[in-house]
Amino acid sequence: MKFARYGERGAEKPALVEEDGTLRDLSGHVDDIAGDALTRLDALKAIDPASLPKVEGTPRLGACVGRTGKFICIGLNYADHAAESGLEVPPEPVIFAKYTSAICGPNDPIIIPRGSEKTDWEVELGFVIGKKAKYVDEANAMDHVAGFCVINDVSERAYQIERSGQWSKGKSSDNFGPTGPWLVTPDEVGDFDKLHMWLDVNGERMQDGSTATMVYRVPFLISYLSQFFTLEPGDIISTGTPPGVGLGFTPPKYLKAGDEVRLGIEKLGEQRQVCVADD
């Protein structure tokens, strides 16, 4: 089953997504795709879509999960991306935070920060925690996943790499975390270790990879992270990116105002963003 959130930013409503992309309003059953509702997705999946009001038109889509407490990212988690970066695969996952103010809808604009000359793209497989996870065994890790989604881990490389300190300041500018369009339950995704993923800039294919080259897999990441802190319903984990980021080209390629970015992951939908300069 696929779930979405639609409407104006900060006032999104929950929806069920039919096979043809039609949205059906879930407001009569839950107030949001967030919090405790993530523990009750099985009950929502049992609802007959035809019994729900049809959402007319083409409303804005918000991030596919609301009230996220933690946005956790994994760095250098694709062997081929680590190679293009000239770095070794780390002996343990690289963890960094993307602050939740970066979260936006899948088709909201990428806002290039003032003075930025190195804003980059990264298509990533994301997943959302649906049940509290603390000291979880890898064998039981998937019991804690509400669903999967597409994430563009937009990054400002100068802020991330050249200005010392933590990566988060290069990862957390406004609208640096497009998330969605859908939250897709694990039963519908199936084998999440072999999903095709891609990203285009102005119609040119930049990234063309697969989750098959991921080093640290989803169950391991849940178990690993849960040894250090409790994962709560609504937390987002973004699992890293395949080769083809702007930093990896010679010379590097970066985004500028007016550029169009399209990206997607097999079974999880597509995103489209237009880049705009921050005012």
- Report pLDDT for 240: 96
- Report pLDDT for 258: 98
- Report pLDDT for 279: 81
Q: Which residues of the chain have pLDDT under 70?
A: none
Round to whole Å and give the CA distance between 212 and 191.
Answer: 10
- Report pLDDT for 80: 79
- Report pLDDT for 86: 75
Calculate Rg over the CA atoms of the chain.
18
The two tokens of residue 30 are 């839950």
In Å, the largest CA–CA distance within the chain is 54
| Residue whose entry in the numeric block shows the structure tokens 């190195």 | 118
The two tokens of residue 58 are 């083409």
Q: Across 65-144, where does the E strand assignment appear?
A: 71-75, 94-97, 103-104, 110-112, 119-120, 123-129
For the chain, what are the domain ranges?
A: 62-277
- Report pLDDT for 164: 81
Q: Are 119 and 75 in contact (CB under 8 A)?
A: no
The fold for domain 62-277 equals: Fumarylacetoacetate hydrolase; domain 2 (3.90.850)
Task: Specify burial of residue 208 (Cβ count, 10 A radius: 0-12, 13-18, 19+).
Answer: middle
Q: What's the pTM value of the predicted model, to 2 decimals?
A: 0.97
Q: Across the chain, where does the E strand assignment appear?
A: 2-6, 13-17, 23-25, 71-75, 94-97, 103-104, 110-112, 119-120, 123-129, 145-152, 155-156, 177-178, 183-184, 196-201, 204-210, 236-238, 260-265, 269-277
